[in-house]
Structure 1
Amino acid sequence: MTTAKRRRIYLMRHGNVTYFDDAGKPYLPEAVPLNEQGRAQAEAAGRVFASDGVRFDRVIVSGLPRTVETAQGVLAQTGQEIALEVWPELVEIRGGKLASIADADLQEAFTGAFEGVVPEHRRFLNGESIGELMDRVHPALDRLRQDSDWDTALLVLHGGVNRAILSLALTGERLFLGNLAQTAGCINALDVGTHAKDWVVRFVNHAAPAVLQDDTRSTTMEILLEQYRKSRR
């Protein structure tokens, strides 16, 4: 029997950013850069790759500054000079206007899209739905898989987008598993074969340098909700 030849995707979430100021007022999410912690996370991830001598054939980002900076931080540690490919269809799930969400609906708006098996009609922050997210992420994955000119790819994307990719890899179905944690700066490893359901998930949510992730029991969206609530008081 011939062993299946699979290719490797290292899927990262961008490093930490500051979405709200001290008063809970939001910064423009399309423009926020990495903060100091986020830069350290990108460098730590890069050292993980460098220690094992991993070399990337392609590096794909969504184009938002936080993914670009994270990828650059990783490559600075691995010593590779490789052009970043911008795939805008892989930007984070888009939220609506926070000011339009009633106080009573804030909890659902912030966390509902990342709880359990999420129905496709569920919207993130009154914006894009889970189904709309998968409509653009799944074809992008197909396009990457159909291109045979790579063996090892680094994708630096976002928490929601990564969940869409991981959910497909884990189930082989059009499902969205919202409670797959994606810590800022984390690394996931996926091997992909030639047929649609040939995925092997090697590991998920490896977060250098805090591998045990013992600093919190809250999700990213729970933390952001509490930061935003300050602006409503």
Structure 2
Amino acid sequence: MTPHQRRRIYLMRHGSVTYFDDQGKPFLPEQVPLNELGRQQATAAGKVFAQAGLHFDRVIVSGLPRTVETATRVLAETGQQIELEQWPDLEELRGGKLSAIPDESLKEAFVGAFDGLVPEDKQFLGGETIGQLLDRVHPCIDRLRADQSWDTVLLVLHGGVNRAILSYALTNQRLFLGNLAQTAGCINAIDVGAVHADWVVRIVNYSPISELQGESRHTTMEVLLEQYRKSRGL
């Protein structure tokens, strides 16, 4: 490998899941599997990789079931048999107790962590802050880049985590750009060089199952907020 040859990170968000029931009551986010749409999204992404003849040297997931299932379905389409690496530090932003959030604070709690350039002290659903997310995500990416044993890696992670990684790649700084959309099942592509500042963001938020993403102009958290409001009769 020459000093100027870049390596490729394919960064996916897991496929769609169902976080709330019809009454707006939450399921445990650590346990939710892909729903039918999510399975279709994962399979569609796998077909894109298969058609391109891509070979992954490593596949890394957070370990939460929705990332494991997405990666497994992707690999089923590519025909690769490769052991998934589980990196728990790449789990999604961890929220607090929804029941503890006052009605008047719900909107900020749900969408505030994904609004523009987000301050590090901003909490997600009354729980983990953006700064705490960056504290665990950035070292993981630095460690991955320092390992010279791979050329092409697939990461299957989460919307908030992906924003942290993309923000790092776009700015080479400790910033969090909350309004970087990450559609369920989407694919991003980032090239990295030997020098830490050498990032090239190639693809952002490509959705194989809906290339023009015309179904909605709402964010994921806006949709989830409206679903949860039902449980409070709002």
Query: Per the shorter chain, which TM-score range?
Result: over 0.9
Aligned residue type for 1:146: A
Aligned residue type for 1:131: G
CA shift for structure 1 position 149: 0.6
Aligned residue for 1:204, secondary structure, equals strand
Query: How many residues are aligned here?
Result: 232
Give distance in 1, aligned partners of 2:137 and 2:172.
Answer: 14
Give distance in 2, aligned partners of 1:40 and 1:82.
Answer: 21
* Residue 211 of structure 1: aligned partner: 211
CA deviation vs aligned residue, 1:183-214 (integer Å, no higher than 9, x gap): 00000000001111110000100011101000
Aligned residue for 2:201, secondary structure, equals strand
Which segments of 5 or more consecutive residues in structure 2 lack a partner in the other structure?
none
Which segments of 5 or more consecutive residues in structure 1 lack a partner in the other structure?
none
Aligned residue for 2:164, secondary structure, equals helix
Distance 1:3 1:136, change over 3 A: closer
CA deviation vs aligned residue, 1:202-233 (integer Å, no higher than 9, x gap): 01000111010000000000000000000000
Aligned residue for 1:80, secondary structure, equals coil
* Residue 182 of structure 1: aligned partner: 182
Give distance in 1, aligned partners of 2:129 and 2:196.
Answer: 24
Give distance in 2, aligned partners of 1:169 and 1:145.
Answer: 12
Aligned residue type for 1:109: A
Aligned residue type for 1:211: E
Aligned residue for 1:205, secondary structure, equals strand
Aligned residue for 1:142, secondary structure, equals helix
Give distance in 2, aligned partners of 1:3 and 1:196.
Answer: 13
Alignment of 1:1-233 (within 5 A): 4-233=4-233
Give distance in 2, aligned partners of 1:168 and 1:140.
Answer: 12
Give distance in 2, aligned partners of 1:93 and 1:62.
Answer: 12
CA deviation vs aligned residue, 1:32-87 (integer Å, no higher than 9, x gap): 00000000000000000001101100000000000000000100000000000000
CA deviation vs aligned residue, 1:96-136 (integer Å, no higher than 9, x gap): 00000000000000000001000000000000000000000
The answer to whether the 8 A contact 2:3-2:194 is kept is no
Q: CA RMSD in A?
A: 0.8
CA deviation vs aligned residue, 1:156-181 (integer Å, no higher than 9, x gap): 00000000000000011100000000
The answer to whether the 8 A contact 2:137-2:165 is kept is yes
Give distance in 1, aligned partners of 2:88 and 2:194.
Answer: 25
CA shift for structure 1 position 26: 0.1
Give distance in 2, aligned partners of 1:57 and 1:228.
Answer: 40
Return structure 1 stretches of 4+ with deviation > 4 angstroms: none
CA deviation vs aligned residue, 1:3-47 (integer Å, no higher than 9, x gap): 821100000000000000000000000000000000000000000
Aligned residue type for 2:62: S
Distance 1:3 1:196, change over 3 A: closer
Give distance in 1, aligned partners of 2:196 and 2:111.
Answer: 30
Give distance in 1, aligned partners of 2:193 and 2:3.
Answer: 11
